[in-house]
Amino acid sequence: MKKIELLSPAGNYEKLEMVYNYGADAAYIGGKLFNLRAFADNFNDDELEKAVDLAHKLNKKIYITLNVIPHNEDLKIMPDYIKYLDSLNIDGVIVADMGVFQIVKENSDIPINISTQASNTNWASVKMWKELGAKRVILAREVSIDEIKQIKDKVPDIELEAFVHGAMCMSISGRCLLSNYLTGRDANRGACAQPCRWKYYLMEETRPGEYMPITEDENGTYIMNSKDLCTIEFLDKMIESGLDSLKIEGRMKGIYYAATTTKIYRQAIDKYYSGNWNFEQKWLDDLMTISHRNYTSGFYFKKPGTKDHNYDSSSYKHTHKLVGKVIKDLGNDHYLIEIRNKLSVGDQVDIIKPLGDPIPIKFPKMQDNKNGENIDTANPNTIAKIKSDIKLYEKDIIRKKIKKVQ
């Protein structure tokens, strides 16, 4: 049985290393041009080449996003950029626009994946893309599991991909003009200001300047603020729907989010293919530790209703925070730790590895790596040296429970 692909986001090279280390089969990244995450770090040309080398050295796949909805001026340099990407031997590009699709075909042999932005919700449109030469269609977020099965039955000879975790857009397949209208930042060219997450007021046309709040409670009401997608509880049904790839959203998220989501979905996929599937509560518990909005099953079983929006807040919640990352094994049980948030000797923390459950420990004595002095507390953006009885490896991460759940 061909195992389904786990596809993770990487907004920069560090995140790429982390998702591969924590179990992703493939990653999707953006270059400096033509991708819908203009405010991610993204990859310059040197970094793109380094990223492709890393992926193929690890026998992983890498896809580049070209999913903007372009205007005429965007097309001037696109052919040369596509020829450059073709020279890198990437595994595919993700495109949303038919014009971009045609330019890729005319200037390269790169396999083309059709973006969720193209709003494919039925088998006929998927069949059309297949006949035009697409290798894969990333289905719209608005399809149900039953519809995925129907599409696969009608068009069995094209790859299908769908999102399994991450932020949801209140607009159909993310094709939204709200940000452009209110801020001048074009969501369809990678610069969304997320005005759907804002708090709004009503004003009656004959009473200008009199603003009436839309309130659910004392915190206000965020009328367009969708919950985040989470499919871990029914991942077996996602796999059995006929999909070829399961995609995690979040190129703008940090390394703790990237590592944790990848690890948990990796564990669930492997459990399914072991022939002994059952949902494990610890998976969802770990997904609660990362920064997220309340979770929803999206459109997979029904059209989302009022309970699938956050009306009281646009903020994220999480139970844990990243405090450190192992960056070097010095030998003799000594390690260098890159400090990401304030960390003190004696703090109760968890060691997170690509395999296995979190390992709870009290953080040991540490030294400042610059001067070798013993320190009780390390601050962000510093390097500490520790001795550990537990074998650590580069890219193991250290998390700490926050005192007040946010």
User: Domain with 52 in it: what CATH number?
Assistant: 3.20.20.70
Q: Which residues contact 357 (CB under 8 A, 6 or more apart)?
A: 282
pLDDT of residue 305: 65
- Of 122-136, 165-179, 316-330, 356-370, the range with the lowest mean pLDDT is 165-179
Kindly state whether residues 254 and 376 are assigned to the same domain: no
For residue 19, the model assigns a pLDDT of: 98
At 102-115, the pLDDT tens digits run 999 999 999 999 99
Mean pLDDT (the chain) is: 88
Global pTM reads 0.86
For the residues 98-125, what does the mean pLDDT come to?
96
Kindly report, residue by residue over 252-268, the tens digit of the pLDDT: 899 999 999 999 999 99
pLDDT at 193: 67
Pair 345, 381 in one domain: yes
What percentage of the chain reaches a pLDDT higher than 70? 82
Would you state the pLDDT for residue 199?
Answer: 67
Looking at the structure, tell me whether residues 345 and 244 fall in a common domain.
no
What pLDDT is recorded for position 292? 87
Q: Rounded to 5 degrees, what are φ and ψ at 328?
A: -160, 135
Neighbours of 208 (CB within 10 A): 8
pLDDT tops 70 at residue 57: yes
Query: Which pLDDT score, from 0 to 100, does residue 1 have?
Result: 66
Per-residue confidence (pLDDT) for residue 2, from 0 to 100: 84
pLDDT of residue 223: 58
What was the pLDDT predicted at 287?
A: 97
Of 280, 306, 332, at which residue does a domain stop? Answer: 306
Q: Could you give the maximum distance between any two Cα atoms of the chain, in Å? A: 76
Q: Which of 22-36, 77-91, 296-310 has the highest mean pLDDT?
A: 77-91
| 368: CATH | 2.40.30.10
Q: Which domain holds residue 116?
A: 5-171+225-306
Same-domain status, 288 and 340: no
For residue 105, the model assigns a pLDDT of: 98
- What share of the chain has pLDDT > 90, as a percent? 70
Confidence of residue 188 (pLDDT cuts 50, 70, 90): low
CA-CA distances (angstroms) from residue 54 to 5, 12, 14, 50?
Answer: 18, 13, 11, 6
Structure tokens at 304: 């989302």
Listed residue (378, 379, 398, 380) closest to 388, CA to CA: 398
Would residue 187 count as lying in a domain?
A: no
Helices (H), 71-176: 78-87, 98-107, 123-132, 145-154
* Residue 180, in any domain of the structure: no
Both 291 and 386 in one domain: the answer is no
The pLDDT of 223-250, averaged and rounded, is 91
Contact yes or no for 43/35 (Cβ under 8 A): no
Distance of alpha carbon 74 from the chain centroid: 26
Residue (of 111, 105, 147) closest to 126 by Cα position: 147
**What per-residue confidence (pLDDT) applies to 94?**
97
Positions of E strands within 42-85: 61-66
Separation between Cα atoms, residue 135 and residue 100, nearest integer Å: 15
| Distance from C-alpha of 251 to C-alpha of 236, rounded to nearest angstrom | 25
Is there a domain that residue 314 lies in? no
Number of domains in the chain: 2
What pLDDT, on the 0 to 100 scale, is given for residue 38? Answer: 54
| CB contact set of 137 (below 8 Å; sequence gap of 6+) | 113, 114, 118, 120, 126, 129, 130, 158, 159, 160, 161
Cα–Cα dist 228/257, whole Å:
13
